[in-house]
Amino acid sequence: MFLEHFPNELNQHGWIEVVCGSMFSGKTEELIRRLKRAEFANQKILLVKPSIDDRFHKEDVVSHQGSSFTAISVNDSKEIIELWKKEKVVAIDEAQFFDLGIVHTCTYLAEKGVRVIVAGLDMDFQGIPFGPMPQILSIAEYVTKVHAICLSCGNLAQFSHRTVEQKEQVLVGAVEEYKPLCRSCFNKISH
């Protein structure tokens, strides 16, 4: 029997998808969920994370809920392309910690037919767009913004309020250093 194909049906087209939100919103959990689906479909996967993020495990990406997936720690975005061995899926966790070269890396991979999945904080603890995330969001085909629950009032939270005094932008931490807040509660504390 002769099977007809749609034009370009057999060509792999790449794209960029982003999962963003505040601390404790489930970004990494969603990233891992997507990777497990790709793994079930026997797709080759490369998962990387910035070497600065060693909170739960030196190599694996681990969510706050305890889900994990094998990853490779890298120091900068150039290493990702060097590590890529034609995997169909390349995932990047904690993208806000990478240099601006990550934007080129994502674009390059997508143009090579790769499904690029990026997870990261869209804003820092002051509510300012974080690192390369604004540029990645603007070039992505798909964006999913996930929310935590505000620990002050119970509404949806999109801000990561820092509960310790350190003022540098990058402070890798968890529940001891951050709590999710909605806009109203964040503004009450911040102003």
Terminal alpha carbon distance of the chain = 70
Amino acid at 85: K
Kindly state the tokens that stand for 30: 């969603």
Are 86 and 40 a contacting pair, CB within 8 Å?
A: no
Q: Torsion angle of alpha carbons 30, 157, 96, 18, nearest 10°?
A: 40
User: Catalytic: 94?
Assistant: yes
3-state secondary structure 35-92: HHHHHHCCCCEEEEEECCCCCCCCCCEECCCCCEECCEEECCCHHHHHHCCCCCEEEE
Catalytic residue among 9, 30, 59, 94: 94
Distance CA 108, CA 14 (A): 10
Catalytic residues, which ones? 94
